[in-house]
Structure 1
Amino acid sequence: MAGKRLFQDLDSDQDQNNSDKRIKSLPSFSSVLGALITETTMKSFSSALEPVLRKVVRQEVEYGISKRFRFSRSSSFRVEAPENTTPTLKLMFRKCLMTPIFTGSKISDVDNNQLEIILVDGSNNQVNLDRPIKLDIVPLHGDFPSGEKWSSDEFESNIVKERDGKRPLLAGDVSLTVRNGVATIGEIVFTDNSSWIRSRKFRIGAKVAKGSSDQGVAICEAMTEAIVVRDHRGELYKKHYPPMLEDEVWRLEKIGKDGAFHKKLSSMNINTVQDFLKLSVVNPEQLRQILGPGMSDKMWEVTLKHARECVLGNKLYISKGPNYFMILNPICEVMKARIDGHDFSSQEALNQHYVKDLVREAYLKWTLLEVSERTRNETALSTQGDGLEQQYAEGHYHNIEINRSYQQNGYVHESVTNNSEIVNEGYLSTPAEYDICFIGSSSQNHINPF
């Protein structure tokens, strides 16, 4: 019995030992939990890493494809042009832009017409190809190019991208076609101002669209002059170029609307550009005194120069008395005078103190003067049959032409027959009356690599 009990105890101890070994061989709860967390983390990491890897692989594939089929570096016309091809043709904007330019406002050329792009050769002769060429219109940095030549890669790198969250910088007819050597931009506007880029200015560029080709012919890009684009909210306060006689005086440079200079002029009943110009002729010292020391000499010159770009129109003012008769233009300048039977031209009258006194008197009674509007076929002024008026009409109002297309540039070439004194001190005189040639810049001045 004792031996049997001994064997039972040994079996019991062995079972207990085996049970303890089984318990010890089982994984702990913490290790199972750690394994589960590790597996979950790896799956999450793999899921997060997968799109990144896909993107990297895709970019590398695209880069390899683009590198394999890279376009030529010499010109924007690169689909069929061989490597290192020198452009033989170029695009060119026919005319300069009308300024100022505001966001949302239609952009036009200096003559207020639609912008035109022409295809020319190295001698700027227009070229007519027998097939159309597609163009892209793009915004460029205003300080590009730094020299007289550029590569198409430089052109591409200077295209301005819109700011985050903004519309494309140029909107409208940004894709067009050259036919018979000419492409017309129907309507194009800037959607953002130029204050946020390094140069504070934009250019408008034109390049041959990708995919358009012409049997390997290389065509150089075109660009306009650099221009400031202002926010449209400033259009209500914009200056006029050129100013008009009836414009409010704050339309002149350096005179802000409701600013100190505007208030000083208004207090002296100088409300329009015509008022400003009249006093600048009759008594410039008084006008300068009204503006005060706050307007520096440099500012004064800028304001006066802008005012003198004003188109004077075709009105004439008659001032007469018992022994004199004077014809004045709209800003109180003497066009012709007869005093005590002696005739004076405008230049001669400037040196006559008596004439100056008569002009000041006419200025003070300006609203009482007789007014006449001259046309090409009109006869002399009908004032008591005076021979001076007949002579004046015959000398100035026959065979009269004017080219108005470049008035905005402010350059005047005096070519008036008989009496060249009509154009005085830089003013743009009667636009429908006098033979004046305005000389301005054209697309010949555009920078290009030729």
Structure 2
Amino acid sequence: MAAHKRLHDGFEQDPDQPEKKRMERSVSFSTVIREAMVMKQVQSVFLVLEPLLRRVVQEEIQAGLLVPLFGDFPPDGREDWTTGEFARGVVKERAGKRPLLTGDVGLTMRDGRAVVNDLQFTDNSSWVRCRKFRIGARVVPGSYEGGRVAEAMTDAFNVRDHRGELYRKHYPPALTDDVWRLEKIGKEGAFHRKLRQNGVETVQEFVRMLNVKPEMLRAIMGDGMTDRMWEVTTSHARTCDAGDKVYAYAGQHGATVYVNALCQLVRLEFAGVQCAAQQLTRAQKAYVHQLFVEAFEQRHSLQEAEPLPAAMLLHASSSSNSLPMLQNAAPVAPPPLPATPLWFQSNQELDLQIVDELPDQNGCFGFQMY
């Protein structure tokens, strides 16, 4: 025992040395090599496991599926449900219909997110009891082993049928709208075909003919359009906005008519002097109507004029002034204008005396001042 004690004591450090020096031991080279190899093996294992883990995660998420749900799911407004309740909440398509939900219904997750580029409902939600749908996401049954992955779903929403948008009427109709946008004229219907055969393709052309040649337009529509239907269609057409463009058509003898995009008379000039249609004689009205028809027939080559001030317009939107001429007037030569001006531009008030008889002015009218 004494020899053992002395041997043990012989290996002890000098008690006079610091404690830190007594505890330090040199690390062998073999230990460093062993630890480095262990770290390298762990890193190699990580490199091998990473693609495997990514593959497992991707395979699990690729088995996800988007399904349509009833808008009132889950039952009783609960926030939890069973797998069976979720399956019973899936909406089946109606008989003879395509699958209710189409597009990217299979999910692929990248970095914890899934992107859906195309998803469409093939039917509206008006036929289900709650009139709303939800979109649910779930794992495909049998494609996942382990604990249950809870389903997810969106809020409830309405799905409307927009197939009628292609045939919807416009209120008010635009100049460039197809003529079947008007009430009582169906797309590719009998009235539409008749109008198209006669060159009436747009609402603008319909209203132009309505303003200038209503009898011709009525004949095109035929007996199949009743008077009530005609009234509905023309009333809808007249709500079209003519815009601000004005076109001029000059005839002989200094007469010029100004019309808008709907062939409505907005200004009338004789020899450069503006005049009101209500003040024309019957012969003058017949001549102006002739110019008006010529302007309609050459409507595609009319020259656009400068916009007219509002005070100079004849209120073309008024139904009484849309065609203030004689509809059945025969073409006549314009009567000569009187030598004296028909209108006087002055800021002073004129005291005009009314006489019982006017001097003969070859069918024209005028004022005699005293």
TM-score (norm 1): 0.35
Q: Which has the higher contact order (CA 8 A, sep 6+)?
A: 1
* Structure (1/2) with the larger strand percentage: 1
